[in-house]
């Protein structure tokens, strides 16, 4: 008769990178960075897209992406030229990772997937020559903690840093928005985004800095089970007992959709990217729309 | 009110299962505890849906309702409901219609009543029978049956199509009532006997003359030749042989079967050949439709080729007919069939049967008892079908919810 099993209440507070995780990150880099670099002139990663430094013009070659065509120049000179941009070497990336207590909800745990996304992003940034700094939100054991990835030898340290993280405490992305200054060319936020507000997040969208958000929800947050349930907020916001029926579930789904849509439309307005996914999805699937076309 | 009974009452024990499921589904149970990061959304939703009751564990999923209904209907189907209706006691009246039953019933007194033995026996039997009965008579091949207050009228007409022996023992059961002219000795059946005085009259035929018994002596009567009818479809060879036999025996050959004491006819031919073998001979011809009656000759495949029913021979062979082997042996075999098939003269009763049947009598056994019709009827099938539909719907709803 039970609509849900006890496993749904399990918390997954720890981060454990499985064997082969580094290889998966390397494959992701190959797929997103190296392959695109090999297609120079045809189109490049969105990380290298609009907003990069303008380097000049060169004549259009047959078969090139027409999106690169400088239409103003074509109108004025009646000859096709493409814009040549280059990524600035030594770019700085910041990755803010929400490790508040609610990120322990799963399985699969939201923090687990968020940490995988953070590591994957860091690996991509490293491959592009960027300096990557990962900042964890403050837990019950103190304030925010950071780790800077400068070279390939730091990769093992980064994984250890992330594996030491635990989902606890009330501070999430909202707290990071208050306490941190990105000081970077790119800022990625990874968390459930339920504690933050769009305006406080997108205030960091400064000139030359691009924002990307990876919003991760647990399967039970996307599709709550029917029946009598006591919902607990792990960050001290209380609890709520409710009998979830079809009508209530529909209302919940609509409101959740509206909340997510609020983030997506705000991101679109600011020229930022915002990806939403379940913690049940592999981290590569979450990062693909963030880093790809 | 509905007089409903169940063939398998023990099946109701299975009702414990849906009852248990219902109790479990309705039992108060603590809610699941789930952590969520969307508590604020739940609060907003509840503010807009204030009518939603917050109760614990009283919700029974709709799919479960249908599953419970399926179990209930299935249990009912298994129990085998049927409408009870009592069947009135009914006699199985075995009526003796042999020729002696149509002899005049004369008591030892000089008063002539004009009744026959069958009339008297039937009147006695009907004193016991209230309402309809199952009437039976033996025609030499099997029992004919008819249900009603009275036996069929033609059963009370004398004929020469009867058997000398009655297989009483085959119907010796408590609800049987044997109706005859003399005392019987069943183990379970009831019986009535008309009795009856000795009756002079025809006992048979000899050399074309009827033979009667009169005051205990056999007396030859007037010439009374046997009448034979031969169907036009009878193959030429057999027709010729039959006519020769009839002429030799001083019989009359009629065009119509009306009044004939022997009828020989052939059935319509159909495709294929058929052959029957005898002692030194073989008869073959075009096969015909399967005849009815008691089989006298069969072909190699066991199919009936020649049958007889009450003085009528049915031949399932047609022209061209071929007789191979010893034609004389075949002729004798055919004539033996003809001789044994001729009916006795109308009204002929054996010498023994014409003797006195005594004073008659009766003996009532247990008789038929009140019985109940226990046939299950169509209810169980419909209930089973409804149970299947409810189960399918219930499982579908459960699947949709999960």
pLDDT tens digits, A74-120: 877 777 877 766 554 578 899 999 999 889 987 888 999 999 999 99
Considering only CA atoms, which of A206, A253, A203 is closest in space to residue A51?
A206
Mean pLDDT of chain A: 81
Band (A257; pLDDT cuts 50, 70, 90): very high
Does one domain contain both A27 and A172? yes
What is the Cα–Cα distance from B312 to B332, expressed in whole angstroms?
Answer: 19
pLDDT of A43 > 50? The answer is no
Does one domain contain both A58 and A148? no
Given a contact cutoff of 8 angstroms between Cβ atoms, the answer to whether A188 and A96 are in contact is yes
pLDDT of A189 > 90? The answer is yes
- B104: in domain: yes
Does one domain contain both B234 and B337? yes
A247/B52 CB distance under 8 A = yes
What is the Cα–Cα distance from A86 to B328, expressed in whole angstroms?
Answer: 126
Structural domain including A82 reads: 53-86
What is the Cα–Cα distance from A203 to A201, expressed in whole angstroms?
Answer: 5
What is the Cα–Cα distance from B103 to B180, expressed in whole angstroms?
Answer: 12
Does one domain contain both B63 and B102? no
A79 vs chain B: nearest CA distance in angstroms?
56
Instruction: For residue range A269-279, list pLDDT tens digits in order.
Output: 888 889 999 99
What pLDDT, on the 0 to 100 scale, is given for residue B160? 63
For the ranges A52-61, B162-171, B213-222, the lowest mean pLDDT is seen at A52-61
What is the Cα–Cα distance from A212 to A124, expressed in whole angstroms?
Answer: 14
Considering only CA atoms, which of A32, A23, A57, A97 is closest in space to residue A289?
A32
Does one domain contain both A140 and A276? yes
**Number of compact structural domains in chain B:** 3
**Number of compact structural domains in chain A:** 2
Does one domain contain both B100 and B34? no
What pLDDT, on the 0 to 100 scale, is given for residue A41? 41
When CB atoms are compared, the residue of B29, B32, B35 closest to A105 is B35
Instruction: For residue range B17-71, list pLDDT tens digits in order.
Output: 888 988 887 777 777 888 888 888 998 888 887 645 454 445 567 788 888 899 9
Does one domain contain both A81 and A94? no
B34/A229 CB distance under 8 A = yes
A9/B35 CB distance under 8 A = yes
What is the Cα–Cα distance from A104 to B270, expressed in whole angstroms?
Answer: 91
Does one domain contain both A27 and A57? no
Q: What is the mean pLDDT of residues B75-88?
A: 77
Instruction: For residue range B356-399, list pLDDT tens digits in order.
Output: 888 888 888 888 875 555 566 677 788 888 889 888 888 887 77
Considering only CA atoms, which of A141, A194, A201 is closest in space to residue A176?
A201
Band (A24; pLDDT cuts 50, 70, 90): very high
Structural domain including B31 reads: 4-84+378-401
- B217: in domain: no
User: What CATH number corresponds to the domain at position A149?
Assistant: 3.40.50.410
- A286: in domain: yes
Phi and psi at residue B293, to the nearest 5°:
100, -175
**ipTM rounded to 2 decimals:** 0.78
Q: What is the mean pLDDT of residues B199-220?
A: 83
What pLDDT, on the 0 to 100 scale, is given for residue B2? 63
When CB atoms are compared, the residue of A102, A225, A241 closest to B37 is A102
pLDDT of B271 > 70? The answer is yes
Q: Residues 211 to 230 of A: which have CB under 8 A from any B CB?
A: 217-218, 220-221, 224-230
H helix or E strand, kind and range, residue B237: helix B236-248
Considering only CA atoms, which of B340, B345, B337, B341 is closest in space to residue B241?
B337
Instruction: For residue range B316-330, list pLDDT tens digits in order.
Output: 888 888 888 888 899
What is the Cα–Cα distance from B138 to B94, expressed in whole angstroms?
Answer: 8
Does one domain contain both A69 and A116? no
B34: Cβ contacts below 8 Å, ≥ 6 apart: A4, A8, A9, A220, A224, A225, A229, A230, A231, A232
The three-class DSSP label of residue B125 is helix
Given a contact cutoff of 8 angstroms between Cβ atoms, the answer to whether B259 and B265 are in contact is no
Does one domain contain both A73 and A96? no
Does one domain contain both A148 and A281? yes
Q: What is the mean pLDDT of residues B141-161?
A: 83
Q: What is the pTM of this model?
A: 0.46
Tell which wins on pLDDT, B36 or A12: B36
pLDDT of A134 > 90? The answer is yes
What is the Cα–Cα distance from B136 to B155, expressed in whole angstroms?
Answer: 10
Map tokens 């052939």 to a residue. Answer: B266
φ/ψ bin of B265: left (φ > 0), alpha (ψ from -120 to 50), beta (otherwise): beta
A105/B37 CB distance under 8 A = yes
Does one domain contain both A200 and A76? no
Does one domain contain both B290 and B310? yes
Q: Residues 157 to 196 of A: which have CB under 8 A from any B CB?
A: 192, 194
What pLDDT, on the 0 to 100 scale, is given for residue B391? 87
pLDDT of B190 > 60? The answer is yes
- A143: in domain: yes
For a pLDDT cut of 90, what percent of chain A falls above it?
30
A218 vs chain B: nearest CA distance in angstroms?
8
pLDDT of B256 > 90? The answer is no
pLDDT of A35 > 70? The answer is no
What pLDDT, on the 0 to 100 scale, is given for residue B261? 84
B274: Cβ contacts below 8 Å, ≥ 6 apart: B284, B285, B286, B287, B288, B299, B303, B305, B316, B317
Does one domain contain both A80 and A105? no
What pLDDT, on the 0 to 100 scale, is given for residue A284? 92
**Entry field: residues in chain B:** 402
Does one domain contain both B170 and B105? yes
Does one domain contain both A226 and A111? yes
């Amino acid at each position: 008769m039970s609509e849900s099993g006890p496993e749904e209440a399990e918390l997954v507070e720890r981060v454990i990178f499985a064997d082969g995780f580094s290889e998966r990150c390397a494959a992701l880099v190959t797929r997103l960075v190296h392959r695109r670099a090999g297609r120079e002139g045809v189109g490049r990663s969105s990380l290298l897209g609009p907003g990069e430094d303008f380097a000049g013009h060169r004549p259009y070659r047959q078969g090139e992406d027409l999106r690169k065509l400088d239409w103003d120049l074509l109108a004025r000179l009646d000859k096709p030229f493409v814009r040549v941009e280059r990524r600035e070497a030594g770019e700085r990336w910041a990755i803010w990772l929400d490790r508040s207590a609610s990120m322990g909800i799963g399985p699969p745990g939201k923090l687990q997937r968020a940490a995988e996304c953070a590591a994957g992003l860091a690996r991509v940034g490293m491959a592009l020559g960027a300096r990557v700094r990962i900042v964890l939100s403050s837990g019950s054991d103190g304030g925010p903690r950071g780790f800077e990835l400068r070279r390939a030898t730091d990769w093992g340290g980064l994984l250890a840093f992330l594996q030491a993280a635990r989902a606890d405490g009330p501070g999430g992305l909202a707290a990071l928005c208050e306490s941190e200054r990105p000081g970077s060319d790119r800022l990625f936020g990874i968390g459930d985004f339920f504690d933050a507000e769009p305006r406080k997040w997108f205030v960091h969208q400064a000139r030359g800095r691009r924002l990307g958000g990876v919003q991760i929800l647990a399967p039970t947050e996307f599709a709550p089970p029917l029946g009598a349930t006591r919902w607990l907020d792990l960050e001290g916001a209380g609890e709520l007992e409710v009998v979830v029926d079809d009508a209530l579930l529909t209302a919940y789904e609509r409101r959740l959709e509206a909340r997510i849509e609020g983030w997506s439309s705000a991101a679109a307005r600011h020229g930022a990217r915002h990806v939403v996914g379940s913690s049940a999805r592999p981290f590569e699937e979450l990062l693909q729309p963030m880093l790809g076309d | 009110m509905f007089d409903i009974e169940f063939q398998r009452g023990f099946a109701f024990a299975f009702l414990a299962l849906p009852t248990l499921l219902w109790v479990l589904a309705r039992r108060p149970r603590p809610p699941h505890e789930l952590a969520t990061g969307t508590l604020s959304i739940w609060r907003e939703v509840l503010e807009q849906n204030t009518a939603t009751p917050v109760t614990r564990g009283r919700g029974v999923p709709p799919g479960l309702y249908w599953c419970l209904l399926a179990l209930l209907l299935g249990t009912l189907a298994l129990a085998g409901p049927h409408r009870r209706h009592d069947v009135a006691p009914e006699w199985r009246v075995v009526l003796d219609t042999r020729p002696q039953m149509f002899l005049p019933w004369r008591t030892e007194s000089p008063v002539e009543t004009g009744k026959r033995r069958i009339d008297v026996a039937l009147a006695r039997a009907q004193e016991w029978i209230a309402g309809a009965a199952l009437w039976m008579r033996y025609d030499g091949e099997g029992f004919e049956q008819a249900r009603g207050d009275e036996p069929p009228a033609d059963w009370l007409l004398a004929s020469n199509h009867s058997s000398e022996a009655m297989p009483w023992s085959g119907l010796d059961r408590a609800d049987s009532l044997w109706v005859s002219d003399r005392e019987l000795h069943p183990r379970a059946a009831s019986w009535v006997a008309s009795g009856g005085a000795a009756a002079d009259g025809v006992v048979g035929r000899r050399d074309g003359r009827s033979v009667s018994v009169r005051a205990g002596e056999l007396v030859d009567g007037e010439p009374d030749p046997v009448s034979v009818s031969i169907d036009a479809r009878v193959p030429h060879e057999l027709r010729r042989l039959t006519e020769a036999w009839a002429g030799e025996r001083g019989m009359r050959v009629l065009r119509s079967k009306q009044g004939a004491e022997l009828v020989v006819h052939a059935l319509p031919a159909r495709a294929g050949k058929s052959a029957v073998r005898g002692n030194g001979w073989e008869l073959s011809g075009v096969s015909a439709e399967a005849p009815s009656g008691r089989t006298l000759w069969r072909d190699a495949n066991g199919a009936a080729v020649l049958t007889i029913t009450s003085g009528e021979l049915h031949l399932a062979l047609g022209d061209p007919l071929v007789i191979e082997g010893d034609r004389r042996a075949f002729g004798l075999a055919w004539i033996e069939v003809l001789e044994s098939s001729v009916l006795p003269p109308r009204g002929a009763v054996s010498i023994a049967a014409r003797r006195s049947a005594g004073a008659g009598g009766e003996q009532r056994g247990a008789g038929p008892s009140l019985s109940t019709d226990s046939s299950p009827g169509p209810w169980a099938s419909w209930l089973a079908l409804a149970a299947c539909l409810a189960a399918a719907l219930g499982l579908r709803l459960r699947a949709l919810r999960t």
